[in-house]
Structure 1
């Protein structure tokens, strides 16, 4: 058998010109994808295929030249793009080539069923092994199905093509013509990161837990995300495309795949695209599992990975959450690709997160990518029902389970500030938001977010309040007992209308700051602290409230500490507060803060003044390292603020 395949191999070797002459006219030709484009055969197809007429050329994105789309070859070739790359974009937009909108997961079945007939496949493969098997190398995606369906297989045999594992092997005896070449594989060079992509990457990195499985692509934003993950642990990969950024994280030990629920330990992908270093690393790498796109992109397969994080780009998103990713200005620009496949798969994954990432503006900042409505002629790739997270450099909008008003507010809050006013005006004109809705004034301070552990062991996210917290804060207020409500407002209060809640979230995060406490993994608010700077004294009036069922668990202590840290960072010299004399839990929090307190009593209310000492704040003596037992702590149902360090005398006059 060894002699048999070797003899057949010799008999199949021809020149590129000879191979192309074997293609009849009027046939559909598939060209290998990405870095596996057989450039020598493509050149011969155009230069030596004078006999060809009315041949269709189909492929996904290819990195090399596409001379068959030139107007001079229109009678011989017409291109059909499964995904529009830069080398064929002008031809598609000028009507000299066609675009097929299709989910990447479905292309193999279209080919196998011959609904999309493939007659000829032009490939690039590795040299055969001792058993006579070549590898499809860096491109399996839709090529695998074309290999199985085509009646004529022509392959460049290139020693620079890595032998990859998985569903990538092909018996050389099945190939009709072999064209030996020795050329470097096409490379996709990463764009230099800019500040916008770095900020987007940082926001997305915060959404990714240790042990998550990732899908990402190539470009500044995916590279920026991967660059932020060096400190993560036990990450996995299940993606349609594998890049240099993945290789670097594997070498850094952040990607191990040990906690994957599907093919643990394997880097599952359908094509590899990047540098020569990446291709050399992929050669005979047993961790890489090459699979066709009907496996990698099947939403049910994707969903089999728990904690699946899918990161995809977009050209624009409207205020209802519709995503445009394949059209721009009414012209076809790219394609559906794998976006919907992975968005839906991640959405169905246990703990999964589908993420759309895009810069807030285009055309040098003159156009907003967050739009009131998509431009006429723009196609929706991902429906508003499929979208969960949208990320720009200004933050994260979580749209899942949100109504149109909430979605519009969340997306306006992450739009570029130059466009927020007109977006809000458009939303009001469409009756999507309330007529008096304020426009988010400043950039949300994401750096202030902290995951904290209370004295009772609860894990809470302490973060600045944002404009989308209005309903959650309203729920907090209406959930208070009559006693807690009286303590907080120094009187009974039956209503907490939109106007009041909007004032609570309309912040400048400098002179007016509020922090909320949310149980980890939720947007439920169980406590809030706020200060407003008094221009006359420069002291900040501070108040806070904790939901009754969370009182006595240390929430107030954490909120006090964090709001003090925020105030100190902004140069605020101290706090002042009015507290009912009977509000012992509130007084306890202030006194246990370690701040020196001056107080005076006015009837039933103490007025407290607390100035910050010079130097960094000191942790309260009652706070112990995480994970150790600690006594239950009194927690207010009323006003409050932060602090650290020892015990201070209780107020009864000046102290």
Structure 2
């Protein structure tokens, strides 16, 4: 039975309670204390080992050793000349940061790789430093000595019977810091979960241990909103059964997770493990059964969540914490088929450049995992990158989709990194599109009150046609840009264009040119009459939700429709149902294959995930056409029909 089933989780909760009861008695701690008594020195003696100019690494996130930090500052207050010109190196702080207080300016200089609420002010007023870097590169930075680490202040679980302590909720770059530090000081906390993976450190490799119990920092979930729920729902449409997901930090990625309860066999390869992901594991939505790497294992680098989440990950063999240079390595991420990276941004311009780290020249957060996962997922087979953001900021006063990024803003993701962009107004797909196409896609998902402004600004900058009109949502707006000339495999030249409301005579001729067999194979009906009402319903097209492409050839200075392909988008899945018909005298000339190829190209540009089709079992030509279409095909035979799913490949 898999460890992440509900039955085994109940057993794990019992295991948590029993092991915590045992460890609360400090049985193993006392045993190792007798062996390594010199490691349990007085705090004053321990902190006296710190010298001027030392670089002190502090475990961050929810693994921050709050007691050690407070004790260090207390020592400095009592011995103001004992420590000065030291550098505090931390990745992100959600706990106590007294060293950023101006009164300790001569003692500490704070350097962070990711800005949290507690350090944002000091970074922006110049009293703390910020080092912009992708998280995957930090361990190498530490191991190489480019960023020197002299002291490591960490927090661990109690030692086990073999003397191993666990880094618990924060493995990330902490392991690299402990390997390079000359002096490792550990706060041993009975509340720190014992996690599996890379986060073990033997007591012999720790210089000093300070036992102190306190609650492990928890990250409280944000209150959801209708806007966030809409965005989460759009994101969920792009997630398919069997996908492996990464979810970034923030309310929007979390909201996306909350909408995945109906998915199956999802996998997780992420840096941040959250309550939302753990809830999906409990529900059986995440079982990691289809992952290419680390099958059966949830892979993460750190956990920020609730006490219940920490209980769940304690001694859970199905959850593996790896160092962040593994979890965030784009080359590792790229090896996971169907990898989906879900992250958020502060602002995106009309060409697709996005920032998640600054608001203009004001530093806000950091590069974090964005570049790592967005590039890794883009390289993965059938991978997707999703950037979610609310359409407005400042209570609706500002648009997050802007003509150009604010002055001095950091470009976290360049134009080629961004593929799917989602707001509460829909999904924009940018990959492989021209600047003009990107502009129109992004204006379409901007807040309606900012769309006229964005359109005019785009015209001023020459990003779109000067006479460009914007009619998004107008169902009858003819998509002229889809008109194209095509040469079939047989060498026949065909003009492809969307069906027009004026096509009724041509469409009637096309229908009547089909044999009874062709009509039956296309419409599954023995009714062969085509009155005005029926034909009109076929040519009156809502271009925002469906598409009908006609294959046209010249005939006596007129047009003749020789084939039609049509698809209808299912908004709930982001797939489209597709069907074709070709005049009998033009069959076996490559028209259907060409239509399928062109409509697949168009559907991919819209960001659709694939086609569905119902095909009569005797319609062998259509089945063969789909088989040669370059899809990942699945389906089954029911009541004389093949119900097919034609998944797009990258």
Same fold (TM over 0.5): yes
- Note if contact 1:20-1:41 (Cα within 8 Å) is conserved in structure 2: no
Task: Say which SS state the counterpart of residue 381 (structure 1) adopts.
Answer: coil
Task: Say which SS state the counterpart of residue 255 (structure 2) adopts.
Answer: helix
Q: Which residue of 1 aligns with 2:55?
A: 28
Q: Which residue of 2 aligns with 1:40?
A: 67
Task: Say which SS state the counterpart of residue 196 (structure 2) adopts.
Answer: coil
Question: Aligned partners of 1:355, 1:429: CA distance in 2, in Å?
Answer: 29
Q: Which residue of 2 aligns with 1:138?
A: 169
Task: Say which SS state the counterpart of residue 385 (structure 2) adopts.
Answer: strand
Counterpart check, 1:259 vs 2:290: yes
- Note if contact 1:196-1:359 (Cα within 8 Å) is conserved in structure 2: yes
In the TM superposition, what whole-angstrom CA distance separates every residue of 1:10-35 from its partner, at most 9, and x where no partner exists? 33113444432221121111110211
Task: Say which SS state the counterpart of residue 514 (structure 1) adopts.
Answer: coil
Distance 1:250 1:406, change over 3 A: same
Counterpart check, 1:305 vs 2:336: yes
Distance 1:15 1:549, change over 3 A: farther
Task: Say which SS state the counterpart of residue 234 (structure 1) adopts.
Answer: coil
Matches within 5 A, 1:433-512: 433-440=464-471, 471-472=481-482, 479-480=494-495, 488=503, 490=505
Q: CA RMSD in A?
A: 3.4
Task: Say which SS state the counterpart of residue 48 (structure 1) adopts.
Answer: helix
Q: Aligned-pair distance for 1:313?
A: 1.0
Question: Aligned partners of 1:139, 1:184: CA distance in 2, in Å?
Answer: 15
Q: Aligned-pair distance for 1:8?
A: 3.8
Task: Say which SS state the counterpart of residue 47 (structure 1) adopts.
Answer: helix
Q: Which residue of 1 aligns with 2:445?
A: 414
Question: Aligned partners of 2:188, 2:368: CA distance in 1, in Å?
Answer: 28
Give 2:542's match in structure 1, choosing from 513, 516, 524: 513
Mind listing any 5+ residue stretches in structure 2 that lack a counterpart? 1-27, 488-492, 508-539, 552-558, 572-582, 586-611, 623-650
Q: Which residue of 2 aligns with 1:454?
A: none
Task: Say which SS state the counterpart of residue 88 (structure 2) adopts.
Answer: strand
Q: Aligned-pair distance for 1:44?
A: 1.3
Question: Aligned partners of 2:59, 2:570: CA distance in 1, in Å?
Answer: 56
Question: Aligned partners of 2:405, 2:69: CA distance in 1, in Å?
Answer: 38
Give 1:386's match in structure 2, choosing from 395, 401, 417: 417
Counterpart check, 1:285 vs 2:316: yes
Question: Aligned partners of 1:625, 1:306: CA distance in 2, in Å?
Answer: 25
Matches within 5 A, 1:204-603: 204-440=235-471, 471-472=481-482, 479-480=494-495, 488=503, 490=505, 513-514=542-543, 517=546, 526=549, 548=562, 555=566
Q: Aligned-pair distance for 1:270?
A: 0.5
Task: Say which SS state the counterpart of residue 57 (structure 1) adopts.
Answer: strand
Question: Aligned partners of 1:74, 1:466: CA distance in 2, in Å?
Answer: 63
In the TM superposition, what whole-angstrom CA distance separates every residue of 1:113-156 from its partner, at most 9, and x where no partner exists? 00011111100000111110000111111111101111110000
Q: Aligned-pair distance for 1:352?
A: 0.4
Question: Aligned partners of 2:271, 2:120: CA distance in 1, in Å?
Answer: 22
Q: Which residue of 1 aligns with 2:94?
A: 63
Q: Aligned-pair distance for 1:527?
A: 6.8
Task: Say which SS state the counterpart of residue 464 (structure 2) adopts.
Answer: coil
Question: Aligned partners of 1:335, 1:485: CA distance in 2, in Å?
Answer: 50
Question: Aligned partners of 2:570, 2:148: CA distance in 1, in Å?
Answer: 63
Question: Aligned partners of 1:313, 1:55: CA distance in 2, in Å?
Answer: 35
In the TM superposition, what whole-angstrom CA distance separates every residue of 1:141-184 from its partner, at most 9, and x where no partner exists? 11111011111100000011011001111011110110001111
In the TM superposition, what whole-angstrom CA distance separates every residue of 1:238-293 from its partner, at most 9, and x where no partner exists? 00100000111011111000000110111101100100000010000001111111
Question: Aligned partners of 1:145, 1:258: CA distance in 2, in Å?
Answer: 30
Q: Aligned-pair distance for 1:231?
A: 0.5
Counterpart check, 1:186 vs 2:213: no
Q: Aligned-pair distance for 1:324?
A: 1.0
Q: Which residue of 1 aligns with 2:617?
A: 629
Question: Aligned partners of 1:11, 1:414: CA distance in 2, in Å?
Answer: 63
Query: 47-56 vs 275-284, which deviates more?
Result: 47-56
- Note if contact 2:485-2:496 (Cα within 8 Å) is conserved in structure 1: no
- Note if contact 1:517-1:527 (Cα within 8 Å) is conserved in structure 2: no
Question: Aligned partners of 2:35, 2:69: CA distance in 1, in Å?
Answer: 24
Question: Aligned partners of 1:287, 1:328: CA distance in 2, in Å?
Answer: 39
Q: TM-score, length-normalised on structure 2? A: 0.73
Mind listing any 5+ residue stretches in structure 1 that lack a counterpart? 445-463, 493-510, 519-524, 529-544, 564-582, 586-623, 635-655
Distance 1:7 1:363, change over 3 A: same
Q: Aligned-pair distance for 1:434?
A: 0.9
Give 1:202's match in structure 2, choosing from 233, 245, 250: 233
Question: Aligned partners of 1:409, 1:33: CA distance in 2, in Å?
Answer: 42
In the TM superposition, what whole-angstrom CA distance separates every residue of 1:475-503 from its partner, at most 9, and x where no partner exists? 79995479x999937579xxxxxxxxxxx
Question: Aligned partners of 1:546, 1:211: CA distance in 2, in Å?
Answer: 45
Q: Which residue of 1 aligns with 2:13?
A: none
Counterpart check, 1:13 vs 2:34: no
Question: Aligned partners of 1:213, 1:67: CA distance in 2, in Å?
Answer: 39
Distance 1:127 1:415, change over 3 A: same
- Note if contact 1:527-1:546 (Cα within 8 Å) is conserved in structure 2: no
Number of positions where the alignment pairs a residue of Structure 1 with one of Structure 2: 510
Q: Which residue of 2 aligns with 1:590?
A: none
Question: Aligned partners of 1:413, 1:149: CA distance in 2, in Å?
Answer: 51
Distance 1:627 1:260, change over 3 A: farther
Q: TM-score, length-normalised on structure 1? A: 0.72
Task: Say which SS state the counterpart of residue 543 (structure 2) adopts.
Answer: strand
Question: Aligned partners of 2:477, 2:292: CA distance in 1, in Å?
Answer: 35
Question: Aligned partners of 2:476, 2:88: CA distance in 1, in Å?
Answer: 54
